[in-house]
Chains A and B, each alone.
Chain A
Amino acid sequence: MSINYTIHDSYSGAVINCTSEQNVLSAISLDGRCNVLVGCRGGGCGKCRIDVLDGQFECGKMSRRHAPEEAINKGKVLACRLYPRSDLIINTAPDIGK
């Protein structure tokens, strides 16, 4: 059963719906306001890196080069592999190392 959550981007102010089954990149890239780059959509290239400031989430497999363990613990994750488990507050500012 997929659950609906909202993703709040503190950078653009956008509030976007995303289900628990949907990767966050596919939700926020449809909304022109977020500053997010769409690359390989496979957790490999690091283009879609965002900050999760608050909320619960799960991640699929991601390249360690672009999402090392320490970064994941700080919420710096690849949006194409990010699945919400609660409402999330994210930051898509351009200076977070894309």
Chain B
Amino acid sequence: MKKGIMRPGHVQIRVLDIDEALEHYCGLLGLIEMDRDDQGRVYLKAWTEVDKYSVILTLADDPGMDFMGFKVTDETSLEKLHRDLLDHGVNVDVIPENELVDCGRRLRFISPSGHTFELYVDKKYTGKWGIEELNPEAWPRGLRGMRVQRFDHCLLYGDELDTTLDLFVNVLGFYLTEQVLDDDNSRIAQFLSLSNKAHDIAFIAHPEKGRFHHASFHLETWEDILRAADLISMTNTAIDIGPTRHGLTHGKTIYFFDPSGNRNEVFCGGDYSYPDHPPITWKSDQLGKAIFYHDREINERFLTVLT
């Protein structure tokens, strides 16, 4: 049931060096620098996004994800979500407007998996980058690197998948699109959507709370994925796997790392979903194929290399 949460809005990523991170996220991925704040954070967007930014880089001595934010359609829904979170026993911090540049009030809470999430309604609208509002061209010239289209989703590792699913489905209005069940039919991976996308957020079971597996960015075609892989080689960027296809979501993908060791993904294509679709299920004895459809073998890095 929809609760007014519309889509992923932003992710704040901790990096060890801002300049190296900018060379990666702007020079290689093709995000665009939009602003900086007095905490030294840098605000980036992908060109098809309509709001001012979606990725915030912050300097830290331990890489990883600070929080992921979702955009809510209107204030009434945000207030209702606030009450519902409190009724569900979740602590909510209210972050005042403009704590993130040009962003309205944010409600912040921690999921049972140990990850920090935010809900907000307002962020400055700047329109798609580099093209006109009226009679828009197909794409802007002057994009760098992979020319990623949007920040798409995060995959997070943590425990308490069941209570996290309950929160995301029953309080926040996501629905389960894909899952991996182990021999006892307990869920070890859950992919959740607000939309027709195969996932807006995903979780994989892991004994430690609050770990970050990857932030993913959308590309249009398989040709773009190959071109992205060429750029990864040209820049001597640490690659994890790919180009290949996932079994889960059936997206075509590359995993690689930013200079601080945070994993990124670029992907295209794959499954679509509607709330009436039963969740697509993989069994854990086929986990290798579920994760890497061609290799059909899981590499240890996928399961244990996290920030």
Contacts and interface: CB of A to CB of B under 8 A. Distances in A.
Contact of A40 (B17, B62, B307): B307
B9 interface: no
B304 A64 contact: no
A45 B16 contact: no
With a 10 A CB-CB cut-off, give which of A37, A40, A43 has the most chain B CB atoms.
A40
Contacts of A43: 16, 63, 260-261
Interface residues on A, range: 10 to 19
A53 to B, nearest CB: 25
A85 interface: no
Interface of B: 16-17, 61-64, 238, 257-263, 300-301, 304-307
B31 to A, nearest CB: 18
Contact of B261 (A37, A63, A64): A63
B2 to A, nearest CB: 36
Contacts of A74: none
A42 B257 contact: yes
Interface in A51-83: 61-65
Given A63-B16, A63-B61, A44 B307 contact: yes
A44 B301 contact: no
Contacts of B17: 61
A41 to B, nearest CB: 4
Contacts of B263: 40
B300 A45 contact: no
Nearest to A39: B305
With a 10 A CB-CB cut-off, give which of B63, B301, B306 has the most chain A CB atoms.
B63
B61 A44 contact: no
B307 A63 contact: yes
B305 A45 contact: yes
A41 B240 CA distance: 10
A39 B62 contact: no
Contact of B257 (A37, A41, A62): A41
Contacts of B306: 45
A24 B50 CA distance: 44
Nearest to B17: A61
Contacts of B63: 42-44, 63
With a 10 A CB-CB cut-off, give which of B260, B261, B262 has the most chain A CB atoms.
B261
Nearest first, the 7 closest Cβ-Cβ pairs linking A and B are A44-B261, A40-B261, A42-B261, A41-B238, A61-B16, A39-B305, A44-B63
Nearest to A38: B301
Given A61-B17, A63-B61, A44 B304 contact: no
A39 B301 contact: yes
